[in-house]
Structure formats: structure tokens, C-alpha cells
Structure 1
């Protein structure tokens, strides 16, 4: 019976068959990690900064120095790139500011030109209005002269300036002009006829 038990136990052991790798993990690595974790916790509770102490070790400090040197080199390159980008952006900003100033000047010039043109339009409207008023006034004067006899009109025209006389005559019909010119002295009639033909 003892032989049977030994044989059954041996069969069971062969079925389990722990390998060397499993044995190393279970017997060495896991207990070592557990011990390391417990040590870290105890040291942290005791107030010891484990990372500072680790930096004091020559191998770890050398690795950290190499990493910081690599990081410093990368950071310096990155800083140089960022400075170059900042310079380019400053140049672009200055160009845009110049364009903005130029645009502001152009807008001011256009607004000044607009104001000047509006003033000119206003003056032209006022002049046109004055001309219309003068025409209406002249029309009423002309209608007065048209209602008068040609002899009376001729006597009045002789006392006016040549321009005024020609202006009055030019507003009248050709029949009325002929009647008035007949009543004028011949040299005056000739002068007014010449001025009338020149004005028309």
C-alpha cells in the first residue's frame, strides 16, 4: 500500500512539473519585489526621500545626468526653434501693422475726397438753384418786356449794358426781336444783332 501511495504522489508531481523559469519567478522575483515594496513604504513613512537617495548612487546619477543632458539638448533645440518662430511671427505682425496703417491712410484719403465731392455737389446744387431762381426772375422780367410795346422796350434797352440787352432779346421770340430792333438806332441794332448771332 505504501508503494501505491508513493507512485500516486510521484505521478501527481510529474503532472504539475514546475519549470525552472516558474521556480525563479515564484521563489526569487516575487519575494524580492515584495521586499522592495515594503522597504519603500517603510522608508517613506520614516521620512526618507528614496528618489534623492537613489540619485546619490553613482550608476543612477550617471544615467540621470545623461538623460538630463539629452533633455537639455532637446530643450535648447526646441527653444531655438520657438525663438525663430517668434521672430518670424514678429516680422509678420510688423508687416500686417504697416498694411493696416496704409489702409487707414487710404480710408482717410477716400473720406476726405468724399467730403470734398459732397461739398462740390452741394455747391453745384446751390448754383443750379440760383440759376433756376434767376431764370424764373428773368422770365418774369421778360414777360413784362413782352407785354410792353416794342418802342418802349427799345428805349429801355439802350440804357442797359450790352450783355443785359442781348440777354433780354435772346429770351424773346424772333418776331418780337425784329419789332424791337426796328425801333433801335441802326448801329445799336447792328451791334445787338451781331451779339445775338454770336450767343446763339
Structure 2
């Protein structure tokens, strides 16, 4: 019975020792530490320091804490890695669509440029044809003038009587044209050899032409 009582007293003493150590730790370490942290937080808040950013910077240097921060940052903004991938893929598709639009515009511009060059070539060919036609017309006119000059020279060398005999067999337009190529003296000499009605008619036409 005495042994049992001593044992109970010993247990009570040990329990009191355990409570004493816990209380010592609580009052000496934990409470002052919490108080110091609280005072530090108040001072930092008053000083304008972002407590959470500061904690993140400090925690980034601690391996386990930095991993937790990184994991928390991956979900920041409500986006997971898969969602970010989907977002980036959508952005790539958007860029590809814009590139395709620019390529279409470039092709349209190239087509317009090609059409303009084709039209330019066509106009140059048309201009060249007109020049050739103009040169041909000038050449034909020059040849005609040359032939008329030769014919005029021939009639100038002929006797007025012979010329008159030729003109009466021609149309009025042809006869007047030949007379026009002659000098005034030659015309007068030929008209004297023509029948009076022809001479009067040709004289009137020549007067109107001059």
C-alpha cells in the first residue's frame, strides 16, 4: 500500500515537471516570438512594405517553400498549364490567320500589277501599230505626191492641145486634179484648147478650190 502511494506521488511529480517544461517553453519562446512577429508585421505594414511579396522573396530561397510558391503561382490567375497551352495555340492560330490574309492581299496586289503590266504591253503594241500605219500612210502620201509630181512634170512637158484632148476623156474630178498640178500659165493654155463649156466648168471649179 505504501509502495502504491509513493508511485502515485512520483507520477504526479513527473506530470508537474512535464507541465512545467511546456509552460516554460510557451512563456519563454513561443509567446515572445509571436509578439515579436506581430510587432514586426505592424511595423512593416506601417512602413508600407508588402508583407506577402516580402515573404515570397524570402521563401523563394528556401527549397521546399519555393516549390510551394511556384505551385501556387502556376494556378495564379485561374490558369493551369493546359489552359496556357490552349491560349497560346489560339494565339498562334490567330497569327496564322493574319499571315494568310496578308498573303491573299499580296497575291491580289501581284495580280493587279500583272494586269497593269499586260495592259501596258497591249497599249505599247497598239501604239507601235499606229506608228507603223502612220508611217505607211506618210510613205503612201509621199509616194502619191511623187507620182503626182512626175505626172505634173509630164503634163508640163506636153503641148496644151494634147493635154486638152486627154482631159475631155476624163471625169471632171480627174481633169481638175490634173489641172491643179499645173502652173497657172499651163492651166490657161490648156483651158484655151478645151471646149468652151468644159473650160468654163473647170475654171469655176478651180476658182472655188483656190
TM-score by length of structure 2 reads 0.58
Q: 1:131 offset after TM fit, Å?
A: 1.6
Bigger CA radius of gyration: 2
1:84 to 78, 90, 94: 94
Q: After the TM superposition, which parts of structure 1 deviate over 6 Å for at least 4 consecutive aligned residues? A: none
Residue aligning to 1:120: 130
1:185 to 188, 191, 195: 195
Task: Tell me whether 1:197 sits opposite 2:207 in the alignment.
Answer: yes
Unaligned runs of 5+ in 1: 1-58
Residue aligning to 1:176: 186
User: CA-atom RMSD, angstroms?
Assistant: 2.6
Residues 193 and 100 from structure 1, CA distance in 2 versus in 1: closer, same or farther, beyond 3 angstroms? farther
Residues 76 and 197 from structure 1, CA distance in 2 versus in 1: closer, same or farther, beyond 3 angstroms? farther
Alpha-carbon distance in structure 2 between the residues aligned to 1:108 and 1:189: 61
Alpha-carbon distance in structure 1 between the residues aligned to 2:95 and 2:127: 47
Query: Any idea what the Cα deviations from partners look like across 1:45-74, whole Å, max 9, x if unmatched?
Result: xxxxxxxxxxxxxx99x949x57x644333
SS of the equivalent of 2:168 reads helix
Residues 105 and 144 from structure 1, CA distance in 2 versus in 1: closer, same or farther, beyond 3 angstroms? same
Unaligned runs of 5+ in 2: 1-66
Alpha-carbon distance in structure 1 between the residues aligned to 2:161 and 2:120: 60
Residues 191 and 103 from structure 1, CA distance in 2 versus in 1: closer, same or farther, beyond 3 angstroms? farther
Task: Tell me whether 1:98 sits opposite 2:133 in the alignment.
Answer: no
TM-score by length of structure 1 reads 0.60
Paired residues, what number? 140
Alpha-carbon distance in structure 1 between the residues aligned to 2:156 and 2:130: 37
Task: Tell me whether 1:139 sits opposite 2:153 in the alignment.
Answer: no
Task: Tell me whether 1:109 sits opposite 2:109 in the alignment.
Answer: no
1:152 to 162, 186, 189: 162
SS of the equivalent of 2:182 reads coil
Query: Any idea what the Cα deviations from partners look like across 1:106-138, whole Å, max 9, x if unmatched?
Result: 221221222122112112211211221121122
Alpha-carbon distance in structure 1 between the residues aligned to 2:87 and 2:103: 24
